[in-house]
Amino acid sequence: MEKKYAIYALLSCLLLSLGIKTNAQYDAQLSNYWAALSYYNPAYVGQSGNLELMGLNRQQWVGIEGAPKSLIITGDMPIKFLGRTHGVGASMFSENIGLFTHSIISGQYAYQKKLWKGNLSLGIKLGMIKESFRGTGVNLGEEVENNEGEGETIGTDEGMPNTDLDGSGIDLGIGIYYTRGKWYAGFSSQHLNQASVEIGDKHNFDLTRSYYLVGGYNMILNNPLLELQPSAFMKQAAGTMQAELSLRMIYNKLFWGGLSYRYKDSGILMLGGQYKSICAGYAYDFPMSDIGKESFGSHELFVKYVMEIDLDKRKKSKHKSIRML
């Protein structure tokens, strides 16, 4: 299992040693996407009418050395300016994959407008990207087992970076989000400017523009204590597309459980609940892809703090989320 992933790590190092441009996909793959919409779509900030702070950690392909480990922190809230409601937010993303670390810090803004008995939001985000390579961790002089079962030493490559390298660039994203009654839909594009990040003197990472489409509905059942929340999530980047279908059942607005299917990738189990201002959720991915099957699956946990904000002192905000968070 470790040998298989070591091949991917070695190929990545080889690309750096040759000075080859590499297309990089920076966005995290989240099973609890419905709880982190502001990460994918800046138009979502301020939509709940509350101050929301969230931390999310994902451990992908547990058991495979160097597999992706992601951390996301987001915060957003509505504000009142010139008699109109706007949304503002910030997000931080960091992901470690082998010797690489991808990081983005962004500020977000959303313009909100009543439209067709619903609420339309147009968002933009501007951020800074940092790409790092831990060259001091490269070790090609270790003894490995050859085909005959005997030990042999791989020599070092003079062209391989053996020092820590990093570079930075500007990142831009836009989005649109619309909600009416019990349903919502959103579309966004990340890395709109497709920045090229230079690390060192001869190594480049070119970001690939990505697109996201999300939609969902809140169904009240005959039993008023139960709600069903089906949703769909589609993403496209670097010429590949992935679709995900989810269904959560919520009991008394306190606990939920659900299932998701990510096409040709994984089946997902979701559990969670909320108590007063704290909401937490967990997801486990049952792997179906070739590399995923070599692992013990993926784990994801998020915690969210919600505080009500009364922008109009005479009454509470009406822009409440149609999902339980």
Whether the pLDDT of residue 198 is over 90: the answer is no
Q: What is the mean pLDDT of residues 277-281?
A: 95
Assigned domain for 317 exists: no
Report pTM: 0.82
Whether the pLDDT of residue 317 is over 50: the answer is no
Q: Report the mean per-residue pLDDT for the chain.
A: 83
Assigned domain for 152 exists: yes
Q: Are 125 and 107 in contact (CB under 8 A)?
A: yes
Q: What is the pLDDT of residue 70?
A: 95
Assigned domain for 316 exists: no
Whether the pLDDT of residue 147 is over 80: the answer is no
Range of 236's domain?
2-308
Q: What is the pLDDT of residue 53?
A: 96
Assigned domain for 318 exists: no
Tokens of residue 29, six digits:
């793959």
Q: What is the pLDDT of residue 145?
A: 52
Assigned domain for 272 exists: yes
Q: What is the mean pLDDT of residues 8-20?
A: 47
Whether the pLDDT of residue 14 is over 50: the answer is no
- For the chain, the domain total comes to 1
Assigned domain for 324 exists: no
Q: Whats the size of the chain, residue-wise?
A: 325
108: domain CATH number is: 2.40.160.40
Assigned domain for 315 exists: no
Assigned domain for 202 exists: yes
